[in-house]
């Protein structure tokens, strides 16, 4: 039996890209007792509900916003595990509407923490972003603060057994927050495909890797950690070229007919991403598949045991995208096909 067998699970943002994949995986493989899908988008909920017909005995769809603490409190009753994926994720939307990002990504996070403590939820896993590292935009800053809230919750939960941990993602290929849907739309229209800079690099992971990291972290977490999968970097121009080569014919064009246009970086956009800061690296552990950032004040976590991760002190420097292994165009193509993005 797995840690999810016969458990009551809540997925916030449960009709987003990652939320839906988590739900599909749990229903297909883990035999939970209940999966509650909490989301503010009623249309997405309706469509997902149609997809999940046959699971009515397990799945519950709850309409609500993480900003609404009273609604959350009802949703969390008798829940064992929470996957918190709800967030405002688009960088430019958060730049133009910064306090909306604060209300969802920060106040919403604190609401999740409060109701989890009140209901003695066993484990809460927050899905963060590499944009939380040395943030240069509002979205990244709110994700960083949400991580800090998650870690600190382990210090003031009292006698309750709640465990709060975070996972930090790179760009998830094919998710609604990634650049791939935009590139596909531009190719369908005949181009041009717009990229900010041909030398820009990003950490990329497949949706299946993202789901794996979230699920793996539940069994490994003691409280306060940030789990980060090791992942290759992708050059943005290479990604655009692969998509053009694979999709142009589908929309009635030749690949050479689709131009790539360099438009320059947007406000708050970095040329490269980092998975952790140098300070975080100095107190991190490393496994073959991931980095684990250990809380700074671990002495107050009574059950904390560094030896339980099967990890060593950090030795590699592959946590900055300009230095990390860059995946080839053929490698990009393989991942996109495996996850049925092309």
Contact call for residues 18 and 211 (beta carbons, < 8 A):
yes
d(CA 220, CA 330): 33
Active site residue 131: yes
Tell me the helices (H) and strands (E) count for the chain, helix number first: 12, 15
Phi-psi region of 72 (alpha: psi -120 to 50; beta: other; left: phi over 0): alpha
Omega cis (within 30) before 192: yes
Q: Are 304 and 222 in contact (CB under 8 A)?
A: yes
Torsion, Cα 277 283 287 292, to 10 degrees, reads -70
| β-strand partners of 260 | 193
Q: Give, for 165, the enclosing helix (H) or strand (E).
A: strand 163-169
* Catalytic entry in 8, 131, 143, 270: 131
The catalytic site residues sit at: 131
């Amino acid at each position: 039996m797995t840690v999810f067998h016969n458990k009551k699970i809540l997925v916030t943002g449960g009709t987003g890209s990652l939320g839906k994949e988590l739900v599909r995986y749990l229903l297909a493989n883990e035999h939970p007792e209940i999966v509650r899908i909490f989301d503010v988008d009623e249309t997405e909920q309706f469509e997902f509900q149609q997809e999940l017909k046959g699971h009515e005995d397990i799945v519950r769809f709850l309409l609500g916003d993480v900003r609404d603490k009273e609604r959350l409190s009802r949703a969390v009753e008798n829940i064992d595990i929470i996957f918190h994926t709800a967030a405002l994720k688009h960088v430019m939307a958060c730049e133009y509407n910064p306090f909306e990002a604060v209300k969802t990504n920060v106040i919403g996070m604190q609401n999740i923490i409060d109701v989890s403590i009140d209901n003695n939820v066993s484990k809460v896993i927050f899905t963060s972003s590499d944009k939380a590292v040395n943030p240069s935009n509002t979205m990244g800053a709110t994700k960083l603060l949400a991580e800090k809230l998650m870690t600190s919750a382990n210090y003031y939960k009292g006698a309750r057994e709640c465990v709060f941990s975070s996972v930090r993602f790179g760009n998830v290929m094919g998710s609604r927050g990634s650049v791939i849907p935009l590139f596909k739309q531009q190719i369908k229209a005949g181009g041009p495909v717009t990229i900010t800079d041909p030398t820009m690099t990003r950490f990329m992971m497949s949706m299946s890797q993202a789901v794996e990291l979230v699920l793996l972290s539940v069994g490994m977490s003691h409280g306060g950690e940030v789990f980060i999968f090791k992942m290759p970097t992708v050059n943005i121009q290479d990604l655009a070229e692969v998509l053009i080569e694979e999709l142009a014919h589908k929309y009635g064009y030749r690949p050479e007919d689709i131009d790539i246009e360099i438009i320059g970086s947007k406000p708050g956009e970095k040329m490269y991403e980092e998975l952790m800061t140098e300070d975080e690296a100095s107190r991190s552990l490393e496994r073959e598949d991931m980095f684990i950032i250990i809380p700074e004040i671990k002495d107050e976590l009574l059950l904390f045991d560094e030896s339980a991760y099967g990890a060593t002190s950090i030795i590699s420097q592959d946590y900055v995208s300009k230095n990390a292994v860059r995946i080839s165009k053929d490698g990009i193509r393989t991942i996109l096909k495996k996850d049925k993005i092309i």
